[in-house]
Structure 1
Amino acid sequence: MHADHETDDHLDRAFLALADPVRRALVARLSRGPATVNELAEPFPITVQAVSRHVQVLERAGLITRTREGQKRPCHLDPAALEALTGWIDGYRLAAERSFRRLDAVLDTLQDPASRGEPEGTRP
């Protein structure tokens, strides 16, 4: 039960972090490689401090990490964190697909034989 609560907390933080368009844009940029906060801030019409706060949210959510390279502290996307999110989503996607396949199968059995090009009475 404890691990589930931790997983839920992690998912909550990650999805809340990704709810913001600026943070999603930062993740998209970091998917192309590491960058400093100043580099990340360049395309945005907001201050470097505002971008830094967004980076902190992503960091607390476990989506990015920061390293030290001399005076620089580049941000790196954490692929394992994104994989955990996509794995969680895929579990529900696969379950929904199975349900739709079952529904399609039921609908196929209910379909009128004439609409499938079968002569009347040939279907068991």
Structure 2
Amino acid sequence: MRWNKPNIRNDLHDLLGRDKPSSTAWVRDQGLEVVRRAMLQNLMGLTGCEVARMSMRLRYAGDIEALWYLRTDLFNTLLPYRGQAVTQELLDQVTPLFQGLFPMSVRAPLPGHPLPTNH
């Protein structure tokens, strides 16, 4: 008796790589969670509707790109609580965590950080 009969479906799944862990997916997922925790850490100790909404958006962001674009919203959420200088410093600590997690072409500057110019 053969336990694993080969058939078209199994061959197709093998071709598509289903049910096999991707060697880079685990690293990307770990990076995503590191960034998510760092962003959520900035909200610790704060209360209010906007803080709760921001926390929810960070927790349910599906990928690293979503977290990248939520940086601006996080900045705006923290601004009334922490002030411009402290908020900018906090986000400057989070930004390097995105290094290597998605292409540079997607990245945009935070408020107050102009795009670098090549002279």
TM-score normalised according to structure 2 size: 0.25
Bigger share in strand: 1
Over alpha carbons, which structure has the higher Rg? Answer: 1
